[in-house]
Chains A and B, each alone.
Chain A
Amino acid sequence: MPMKLLKTETENQLVVERILHARRYSLTLDRTLCTGCGICKEICPREAIEVKTVPKVEGDKARPPTIDVSEEKCHYCGICESICPFGALKVTVDGEHVIPVIKSESFPQLIREIEVDITKCDVDCVDCEEACPLNLITVTVQTPDGKEVKDVKSRPDKEKLKVNVEIKKDLCPCCRLCEVKCPEGAIRVRKIFHGIIRIDREKCPEDCQDCLDVCPIPGALYLSEEDGKVHVNELFCVYCGVCKVVCPVEEALELQRTHIRHTPVRSGAWNKALEKLTSTEEMAKELRTKGSAKKLESVKKRVAWSE
């Protein structure tokens, strides 16, 4: 059979496929998870991804952009899947979930450091579950012999019950909302992306809150009652950058990632991606720690940059 390149779109997902007589590839974008930030687009080596902004309807809230993937260009390397902080993309080969670039260590995995000390948990507390804006946390309570307990309040043996906090880590952008909301300080979260985000409110148009409308993390941006403009709370920002995508004014919103937490790799592709997502300096820093002196030299030459 000649090669087939397909794209199927439903309301909640986009699937591109490359079907060969002897092998099938697919990439699925789960639109219920995708925030439209376009980090994937930044680093897709085939420029297969397009971020399409959704035109705003007068009087409505701004809507997040949609992601489109070209079935002609995608070569199913899985770079987008590895970088997506929301876990919205998935590659399969012959029906099995594999990320080729991770298998070959051509790309790192994001480090999602989330620790829960359940010994500190109060059995009838579900604050973290309620705090998670993406509904990734499920708190359950069990008897010592492992039976799930439904109505904790009416149980007399509260002391003996065990709390279990389950987090869908793969889909977690590590916003720290749960950490902050936990009354017992039982959760510790470290961010994946670090950076700086600033809004030059002088430049913001009157009544514009587009960035706030599309931000997936409540509280990362908020409307100040004082000046009626959008302000930033860096504590919760995950630096996905969807705000910057929709911002109608150039330079009103500045977003700069400074660091990405990831497993160690030696890979040119990652260096390039890192440079695109953060900065040349950050990439050079990484090269230095890996001792790639030769490559570092060439980077310096290329950007005429000295330490």
Chain B
Amino acid sequence: MSKELRIGVFICHCGLNIAGVIDMGELVEYARTLPDVVYVKDNRYTCADPGQDEIRKGIKEYNLNRIIVAACSPRMHEPTFRRCVSEAGLNPYIFEMANIREFSSWCHPSTPKEATEKAKEIIKMAVAKARLLQSLDILEVPVTNKAMVLGGGIAGINTALDLAGMGFKVYLIERGESIGGHMAQLDKTFPTLDCSICIEGPKMVDVSRHPNIEIISYADLLSVEGYVGNFKVKVRKNSRYVIAENCTGCGECRDVCPIEYPNEWDENMGVRKAISVPFDQAVPLVYTVNMDHCIECYKCIDACGARQAINFDQKPEEIELEVGTIVVSTGFDIYRPYDNSLYGYGRYDNVITALEFERLILAAGPTGGKVIRASDGQKPHTVAFIQCVGSRDVNKYPYCTGFCCMYALKNAILLKEKYKDDVEVYIIYMDMRAHFKGYEEFYQRARELGINFIRGRAMHILEDPKTKNLTIRTEDMTLGEPIEVGAELVVLSTAAIPSKGTDEMARILSLTRGADGFFMESHPKLKPLDTPVDGIYLAGCCQGAKDIPYSVSQGSGAAARAATVLSQKKWKIEPIIAVVDPDKCKNTRVKCGICEKRCPYGAIKAPEGEPARVTIAMCHGCGTCVADCPSDAITQLHFTDAQILSQIRSALEENPEEKILAFLCNWCSYAGADLAGTSRFEYPPTIRAIRVMCSGRVDKDFVLEAFRLGAGMVLVAACHLPYDCHYISGNVWMKKRTDALTMVLGKLGLSPERFRVEYISAAEGVKFAGLVEEMTEQMKTLGKEKIQAENEKLQPTLERMLSRKKK
């Protein structure tokens, strides 16, 4: 590209959308006067083919090397025009848009003169930025087309099978001895009442037989490094003290082993041997010695004999895998309500959890399918299910677990079908949630079977110390009064909670967790399976409690998401990233590392004594580290300090004290401002907006510079706290920074209303318009004189504060 700047400005009428308000002739004339602009052209519809042709033609004929389209919002057509300029042989990043439709003609229809003036300044700001734009190369990274699936529950099983079916190699990492997850612990499944292991077992076997799947069970994930397409994973295979290849799964060792210990798989209701499998259908069917219990009598070695599968010298083994994507499917744990003194769990023998009930009624369970009480081994004649234990409880877990209503119905039906009139069943519930296909019908079936439904929250359970029978004190909302229900067995439908180790996995994988502790998806509606880390996806209950059909669907969905990466040879990365100038970074001299703390993606690392380094493929380009770097050593490409400062200066060249200078984050506030335009909410034309990808990018120097130049008001607008930020925590850091700045400016004598931080979502067009209205009012009330006087007072201090920024 030649050194000389040759800027072309293409101004769009958008039919009458722009031209109906703004004086296009004046705008074209004005644009011609701007520095380095060598060509200006207006079109009826710039985005249509003829309009795009004009751009391509202009580039050729006038040898243009910077392009501006003044038209609609960049959120609408920036990709279109970037493509257009690159077709004409230019780098797509030398293109800039001036949003004169949403930000001017649509929101100031009744003041065309002011709208035209504002449009001029919007173009001027775009030209100022365009003069500093640089060509950027789209980055490409190679892709290892293998996947890792973490957690072998039903969700992970489906992910693995689908990915393997598409031809990708899959490592299925399971922490437990067997894959299967909770589903393998269940008796029957709602709403069809199929036997759980009968439908899951064959899938588990499919996994073990699939040539593309390698199960790595009894293993812990130690670390994950790298980025999309190129993850390096360390896994520790724990010692089973049994050589998997030699073990035939015959179980002769188990038969001779003297030691029994509580079987967690049976919810500790039954036992297993020190050498055993957790359940007969375990996959892989390899026995494991539990060294916490083994007494090393070596009877098992004798029993194993010539197969020589048992090896007490086996050491844990660390292995390294290289994968392109990771699907996390680590499931959930069940809440065991020891801390709820009102229900007496752990104290009363005949109060159990629903998961314990599953093991009790299961034919292969510790009692051989006999539903008996722990206190006397007798079959109970009245069984009460209490719903929402822990769930929907503001003091415990505020969320609804979702599947407990359904499994309580299931277990109530199973009891009724098994013992007929010999058992009376109660379900004490707050709301019955049966809202998927076939579920309402299932509920009706339960009602027809004569199960007693009592609506209310159970308050208290009392035990008769002699008979160990229970009395439940509850309200009956239908009767509107407290009642007592007698029961010989009480089953608590307890909440699903994040599985043990979720915090550690979040750390290793750089994933975020919601307030409920489960992993957070990238976007609750549009990216429900993605995580903030490119190439890592979620499936099943690790993202929030859900039933089997939903977990299975997510498993397949996550496989499809992973395949979008795995099927590529190379993965493209937007070059709007942070780069460090190692000479400026002070971490080489003093311990700093602020950037590392700011980055929600773990993309920037500042090892002691070394300059900070960005892993390009992990950087999402929010710019939070850039704004907070105390040495100005980091630059965000395409949103450099110089580019943004040039926009500020150009916006405030004339009558600064009558203007609101705004920094809007791309994903929420800029979109909210766009919506104000599209909704034709009219507001005063006082605002000049600068788009940043994230509010986290807003350097305090930008604000200071605006006031130094005399701005009337400054606004920073972001996504709502705490979870809306597109970059996870950019808005949080912005808040910290601006809170401090507000204090400083206040002390310097700035009227507090002149610096404003607001949170505006993409849906809050009204709020944006109202805000501009309000701020304009405040600005008027303050009056130009007062503002100027304040500014004069501020000036020397700001000059000093900004001296290092000055060029």
Write the residues of chain A forming the contact surface with B, with a CB cutoff of 8 angstroms: 1-4, 18-23, 45-46, 75-77, 79, 100-101, 103-107, 266-270, 272
Contacts and interface: CB of A to CB of B under 8 A. Distances in A.
Given A104-B257, A267-B297, A269-B296, A2 B356 contact: yes
A106 B295 CA distance: 9
Interface string B262-296: 10001111110000000000000000000001011
Q: Is the interface of B mostly helix, strand, loop or mixed?
A: loop
A20 B296 contact: no
19 contacts: A1-B351, A1-B352, A2-B345, A3-B262, A20-B262, A20-B366, A21-B352, A21-B374, A23-B366, A45-B296, A46-B293, A75-B261, A101-B297, A104-B257, A104-B297, A106-B297, A267-B299, A269-B298, A270-B297
Given A2-B346, A104-B256, A20 B268 contact: yes
Nearest to A98: B258
Interface string B237-256: 00000000000000000001
Interface residues of B, number: 34
Contact of B299 (A4, A20, A22, A104): A104
B336 interface: yes
A77 B295 contact: yes
Interface of B: 256-262, 266-271, 293, 295-299, 302, 336, 338, 345-346, 349-353, 356, 360, 366-367, 374
Contacts of A75: 259-261, 293
B143 to A, nearest CB: 47
A44 to B, nearest CB: 10
Contact of A1 (B295, B297, B302, B356): B356
A1 B258 contact: no
A299 to B, nearest CB: 14
Given A20-B270, A268-B298, A1 B259 contact: no
B299 A2 contact: no
Given A4-B346, A20-B271, A266-B298, 13 more contacts: A2-B336, A3-B262, A20-B366, A21-B270, A21-B352, A22-B270, A22-B271, A77-B259, A101-B295, A104-B256, A105-B299, A106-B297, A268-B298
A4 B262 CA distance: 11
- Most chain A CB atoms below 10 A, which of B268, B351, B360, B366: B268
Given A1-B374, A100-B260, A106-B258, A23 B270 contact: yes
Contacts of B336: 2
Contact of A21 (B256, B302, B356): B356
A22 B269 CA distance: 6
Nearest to A295: B298
A80 B350 CA distance: 33
Contact of B297 (A23, A46, A269): A269
A96 to B, nearest CB: 14
A138 B353 CA distance: 54
Contact of A77 (B256, B258, B366, B374): B258
Contacts of A268: 296-298
Nearest to B377: A22
Contacts of B295: 45, 77, 79, 101, 106, 269
A46 to B, nearest CB: 8
Contacts of A269: 295-298
Nearest to B263: A20
Contacts of B270: 20-23
Given A100-B259, A106-B258, A1 B296 contact: no
Contacts of B299: 104-106, 267
A105 B353 CA distance: 38
Contacts of B262: 3, 18, 20
A103 B258 contact: yes
A267 B353 CA distance: 40
Contact of A266 (B267, B302, B366): B302
Q: Which 7 pairs from chain A and chain B are nearest by CB?
A: A106-B297, A1-B374, A21-B269, A104-B258, A22-B366, A269-B297, A268-B298
